[in-house]
Structure 1
C-alpha cells in the first residue's frame, strides 16, 4: 500500500499528482505497512512487558525465598535461645525454691536436708583474717541493758533486708555451713523511727561476715561487741576473742553479759597456760583437686616474714635467721622450738645481733608446740565465747602470738570443708600484718 509523502493520502500506486493535496509525486511513494508495523510494535511491547514481568516475578520469588529462609533461621535461633533461657530459668527456679524451702524452716527441723544441700553446693569455709572495712555506729541506754530485752526475732520469710544486707545480685556466700539461713543478729534501733536493725548473718546472699567497728575511746565499741557475741551465742554460733588490750578482762565485761553467758563464757589466761599451737608445724592447703603441703623452706620463710614484720630485721639479720632456723629444724623436725633457735643464734657468729632484736620473744617462748590442738573445740556450734587473754605479755610478743595463731587457724579452716564459720574478735587490727605472705 502506497501513501503520499506530503499528506499521507492513500494512493493506487501509479499517480503523478496526489489527488488530495495536488502535489507532484514524481513516483515518490512510501510503502508503510502501518497495521503490521503497529502489530509488530505491540507484540514487541507486549513481549518486553512479559519479559520484564517475568523477571520481576522471578526476582520477587527469589527475594521471597531469601526472606522466608532468613525468617525461618531467625525463628529457629529465637526458639533455641528461648529454650535455653527456659531451661536456665527452670534451673534457677528450682534453686530458688530450695532456698525458700530452707528459709521457711529451722535448722532443728531440717538439719539433715540442709546439710545435704550445703554439701552438694560445695560450700567452703570463710577466711579467718579481716580484709574489708566498714563502719557501724550504735547508741547505748545506760539505764537499760540490751542483754535483758533483746528478742531473737526469726521471721519465716526474709523478703526485705535492712542496710547491712547486700544486693541480691552479689554472688552467694560460701561460708553458711551448718548455720540456719534464718539467723539474724540484732544490732540495735535507728535513731529515727525506732526501727530494729539486723545483720542477716545466715543469709546465703551475704558475701562475707566481716565487720569493722570504729569510734573514739569510751564510745561503747567493746560493749557493742559483747551484744554481738551474745546474739551469736543465742544462735548457737561460737566465737573467739583475742584480747591483747585488756578490754575483755572479766572485771571489764558487762555484768548482764556474763550472767547471760554463764558457763558458755570461757577465759584462757595465755600467760599461765601458754598458746597451744606449734609455729613450726608443716601446714597443708586444700585446693580443688589439689593438696599443697609446705616444705621446710616454705614454713621457715613464713615464720621469718612474721618475725621481720614485728621486729624489723635487717637484710643480713633476716638472711642469717632464716639460715639458722632452717638448719636447726631439719636437724630436729619433730621437737624444734624458739628456745632452740635462740641457743643456735647465740652459738653463731653475728647471731647475737639477731637475738638482741628478738630477745623479748625468745626469752619467753609463749608456745606449747601442741601440733594436735583442735580448733573445732573452740568453734563448736554450742554458742560458747572463748577469750584468749594475753595480759602481762609485752606488745611485740602479743602481736607475734596473734600472727601465728591466725595462720594456724587459717590452715585449720582449709582442712575442714564442713562449712564451719570462725567468728574472731580483734581489737586494734591495724597493728597486724595484712600482706599476702
Structure 2
C-alpha cells in the first residue's frame, strides 16, 4: 500500500485548501448561522461558490455530475473541506446527503436517479435519512424498528415516528426505513412536502453544523407507490450497511479536518502566549499535549487511509470501518479537547472557532453508532475468529 499522494490528487488537495481558506472561512462569522445549522440562504451561497469552483459533490459519479473520487481521494479532499465547519456544507458532502448519495447511486432506479438523485448531487435540494426512532424504537439497535409499512395493492402505507433526523427541516425528500409485516425492513423514498409527514419539532442539540438541524417526524398513513421503494422489498438492513460502512469513514475524514484546525489554532497560541516567563509551548505540559495531538491526528489519518484503500479494492470493510469509527472519533475528540485546554479561557469562548468545533464534535462519538456499540460488535467478531483485512503484503501471504 503506497501512501504517497499522486500529483493530480496533490494538486486537488492544494486547490481545496486554497478554496476553503479564501472563500469559506470568511463566512464563519456570518449571522445566518442558527442554533440548527446554517440557514438555507447561507447554504445556497456556499454551495454556489463550490459549484462555480468545480468542486461541488466531488464524491458523486462523473456520470451524475460529481468528480468520481475514489475513497482514498475522498480521504484527502474531505479532510481539507472539513478544515472549516462550513466546508462540508459548501461541498455538498455533509451528512446525511453524502451517505444518501452513495447509497442512491448504488441502488436507485433510473427514474429515481432523475427525480431525486441528480438534483441532490447538483445541490438544489437536500435529503434526510429517517431510521432512528424514540424509545422503544430503533436507535443504535436497528432491529428495534417500530415504523411499519403495510402493502395495499401496489402501494405501501407507512406509519411511525422518527427522531434525530438530521436535515429534516427543509429537506426535499427522505429515505424512510420501515418494518414489513414479515419483520424485514424496507427503504422507501418520499418527498418531504407530503401532508402525511409532519415535522413536529426541531431538537435542540450541542452541534450547530447541519443545515436543518435534527427533526422529529410523525408519519401517518403515508401512501408510497411500489416504484418509490428503494432497492428491493425486505432488504433495508442490507442497504443500511451499504450506506453506513463508507459513511462512518467519511465522518472520520471531515472531522479530521476540524481536529487539525483546532490543533493549528492551539499551536499558534502556544507559540506566542507567554506565562511564567516563557511562551506556553516551552512548558512541558503544553508541549506534551501538542505532541499527543500530532500522534492522534496521524493515527486517525492512517486508519482512514487504510480503510479507504481497502474499500477501493472492493472489500466490504464493515469490521475496519467500525474500528476506524471508534479510533478516529476518540482520537480526534482528544485533539480538540486538548486544544481547548491549551487555549485556556480563549478555548471556552467564541473568540476562536475551537469552542464551536468542540461542541459540534462531541456528538461524533455517538453518530453512526456509539463507540460502545462498535466495541461490542468488534469484540464479538474477534471472539468468533473474524479478523480485519490484512494490512500488509506479508500478512496476505
Same fold (TM over 0.5): no
Q: TM-score, normalised by structure 1?
A: 0.26
Q: TM-score, normalised by structure 2?
A: 0.28
> More helix by proportion, 1 or 2?
2
Higher relative contact order (CA 8 A, sep 6+): 1
